[in-house]
Structure 1
Amino acid sequence: MIIKATENDIPTIQHLAKKSWNSTYAHILEQKQIDYMLGLMYSESTLKTHFKNPNYQYYLIQEDEVFLGFIGFEFHNEPETTKLHRIYFLKEAQGKGLGKKALEFVKTETEKAGDKRLTLTVNKNNDAKKFYESQGFKVYDVAIFDIGNSYVMDDYLMEFIIAK
């Protein structure tokens, strides 16, 4: 089940982010960088800012009354483009088809919003790239983003074109 999140769900989002990031990125990034990025991207003030933006959407993914993941995306991030900022699941949720359902949901919401393109970034060492490609995403560029504290994100930029 995909449920629209509210500001009251910030602790749940933070909990899911911490657990999923620590399992997803443990073999890619140093723990210090994971902790830094979690603090930067999932602080209460950052998340509250997202919730105040009417184009920024958060949804929780639930199965059997248990929250297993979340998605965060932003309509009109660029002209006619929705950006998928966050899609994370707990380790125990993987292989259940929830990622596919969540991406289909975001694609549908992107189309409803009138955007024609869905973009995301994925770390160059993250196996999720293969998953995104299996769902129709293509790499259109690469980028290195300076995120402060002498850390960078070295990512593939991927897109999915919404068929009309």
Structure 2
Amino acid sequence: MKLRQAVAVDISLIQDLARRSWGNAYADILSKEQMEFMLSEMYSETEILKHLQNPHYHYYLIQDENNDSYEGFIGYEHHYEDKTTKLHRIYLVPESKGKGFGKKALQFLHEKVSENGNERIILNVNKNNSARNFYESQGYRVYGEGVFDIGNGFVMDDYMMEFLIHF
């Protein structure tokens, strides 16, 4: 597995990977209308470009070197809060789950967070998303929960999780 920093020409690839992974991750959690709204808002070319232009926000593509294929991506933002990095998104296409890509991507994130001087990683995960179990298996813990208005009459009902970097 290799992680490659994404650039503007990768936007359509990120959009495709998001659509492929979301169909599997959220099919039983969100309505099709909410999924389409979120994908169009969160993964628009304008939104991704804005992230890529933010010096604290990083996208990395997860590449399977054996198959020369892209299996997903990770997007995170250093200094989201004091000494805190926010993992905004980590998604894998369905056929690549269970192959260790997620664990390796989180290990990579931990290294980047440490290098950047942050001491904590936070993320939100939908209360009905089994990804919570994955995060807990990697040392993350729930520290809160919230219902967040995302517009267009939709909300996200999430757990807030954290991982503390130990130096």
TM (normalized to structure 2)?
Answer: 0.97
C-alpha separation in 2, matches of 1:147 and 1:33: 10
Matches within 5 A, 1:1-164: 1-63=2-64, 64-164=67-167
C-alpha separation in 1, matches of 2:53 and 2:30: 31
Query: Can you give the 5+ residue segments of structure 1 that lack an aligned partner in the other structure?
Result: none
Query: Can you give the 5+ residue segments of structure 2 that lack an aligned partner in the other structure?
Result: none
C-alpha separation in 1, matches of 2:159 and 2:91: 17
- Runs of 4+ residues over 4 Å off in structure 1: none
Q: Secondary structure at the match of 1:29?
A: coil
Q: Percent identity?
A: 52
C-alpha separation in 1, matches of 2:148 and 2:162: 18
TM (normalized to structure 1)?
Answer: 0.99
Read off the aligned partner of 1:85 and give its amino acid letter: H
Count of residue pairs the alignment pairs up: 164
The CA RMSD measured in Å over matched residues stands at 0.5
1:14 to partner: Cα distance: 0.2
C-alpha separation in 2, matches of 1:163 and 1:143: 27
1:78 to partner: Cα distance: 0.3
